Structure 1
């Protein structure tokens, strides 16, 4: 099975969530390369410097220092040639406001509840 994407960036502060999500992405052959950043600020810096050029980003909402929505505000300030990734909000949040804000954000392709599953990956690759 060929990967759907070349580079996937996973942004989540939780080590266990990153471990589980990464394993699902790898076993589902979702991307050729999976890059993990535990800090949204670090992810923005990697994007700004050009160290990472993802085709797809999985972004958590609830993170210390900078949450997912604050990441999106900083993402919006990046050069247009950097902002080509599909962004999936991957969160355990049940707050209807988080869902609403996600669906209203021009960069978010889809809101996905944790944990990520192979079924969801198949739908994203279809």
Structure 2
């Protein structure tokens, strides 16, 4: 079975959510490498310094210091933003404004409700 992605970056401040998401990604052979950053600021720094070069990102909305939308604003100013990285907003938010804002953002491929499931992953792997 071919691995759809080389490097997946998971950005979420919640340890349990990261554990569950990582397990689903690993069980589905989704990426060769899964890198977890527990804050948007840490993720931005990793992207800036080149220590992480993802081709897919799963991004939470609600995080302290810098939320997912603020991450996207910072990300937009990076050269890496032009590389066509798929970004999936992975959130437990049911707020219609969050869903609409995600849909309107040019970097977001799709909004996915937590927890990530095998079915949701199969649909985006296509």
Under TM normalisation by the shorter chain, which class is it? over 0.9
- The CA RMSD over aligned residues, in Å, is 0.6
Quote the residue 1:31 is aligned against: 31
Quote the residue 1:41 is aligned against: 41
1:92 matched to 2:57 = no
Quote the residue 2:70 is aligned against: 70
What CA distance in whole angstroms lies between the structure 2 residues aligned with 1:63 and 1:53?
22
What CA distance in whole angstroms lies between the structure 2 residues aligned with 1:46 and 1:94?
29
- Structure 2 unaligned runs (5+)? none
TM-score, scaled to structure 1? 0.97
TM-score, scaled to structure 2? 0.97
Secondary structure of 2:53's aligned partner? coil
1:17 matched to 2:10 = no
What CA distance in whole angstroms lies between the structure 2 residues aligned with 1:2 and 1:29?
8
Quote the residue 1:105 is aligned against: 105
What CA distance in whole angstroms lies between the structure 2 residues aligned with 1:124 and 1:50?
26
May I ask how many residue pairs the two structures share in their alignment? 124
What CA distance in whole angstroms lies between the structure 1 residues aligned with 2:92 and 2:2?
29
Runs of 4+ deviating beyond 3 Å: none
